[in-house]
Structure formats: structure tokens, C-alpha cells
Homo-oligomer: A and B are copies of this chain.
């Protein structure tokens, strides 16, 4: 039997607080749980479209009244998905008068992107 041992390398958090990358070392349980929460928030087509509509908006902000009619879903359902995206730290919102405006939090997106990136392209970040 080829019983090899998978030793979890010490999570060397160098220059990055949480996770040095999916490929660099096996994930610990805690990190996996936290990251899975983020990816789960992206694992729905409605939420992906919502996030994309918010993040790609030129002014950086979108009113909910501009998001809801783009879907064939009820208003509470859209509100529910926006809440999940907000709880995941992907977007944030603010009420301004009658309307509520949402904007994207690119730090979380970049963190996930860095986590997924395989280290085959050598580059130097500032």
C-alpha cells in the first residue's frame, strides 16, 4: 500500500494575511471553511450577475431599483441575494434618501483571485 503522508506545511503567512495560495500548501480546516463561505457566495448565477452588475458600474454605485428589473425574480429574492453578497464581504451598501446604493469591495475579489492563481507565471507584486 502506498501510504504517503500528507503533512500540512506550516501556514507561512508571508505578505498575505490568510492564505498563501491554493497550490502552495494544503489548506487548513479553518482557512478552508472561511474561503468556502466566500466561494459559496459566488456559486449562484443570480449573485454572480448581481455582483458583476455592481462591480462593472462606472460610477461605482448601483441603486437596487436598477438591479431588480434585470431579473425575473421577486424583489425579496434579489434583496436576499444582495444580503448574502454583503455578508460575504463582496459588496457594501448605504441608504441615501429613499434609495439604497450598493458598491463592490474589490479587496475581497482580489484576495480570492490571488488565492486561485497558480504560481506558474512569475511576477513581482509591489
Contact = CB atoms under 8 A, between A and B. Distances in A.
Interface of A: 1-6, 22-27, 29, 32-33, 35-37, 39-49, 51-53, 55-56, 62-63, 65-67, 70, 99, 104, 106-107, 109-110, 112-114, 116-118, 120-121, 124
Contact of A56 (B25, B47, B55): B25
B99 A120 contact: no
Number of this chain's copies in the complex: 2
B48 A36 contact: yes
**4 tightest CB-CB pairs across the interface, nearest first?**
A40-B43, A39-B42, A113-B116, A32-B45
**In this complex, which of A25, A48, A70 has the most chain B Cβ atoms within 10 angstroms of its Cβ?**
A48
A110 B62 CA distance: 29
A5 B1 CA distance: 37
**In this complex, which of A44, A56, A120 has the most chain B Cβ atoms within 10 angstroms of its Cβ?**
A56
A36 B29 contact: no
Nearest to A53: B26
A18 to B, nearest CB: 13
Contact of A110 (B41, B66, B99, B118): B118
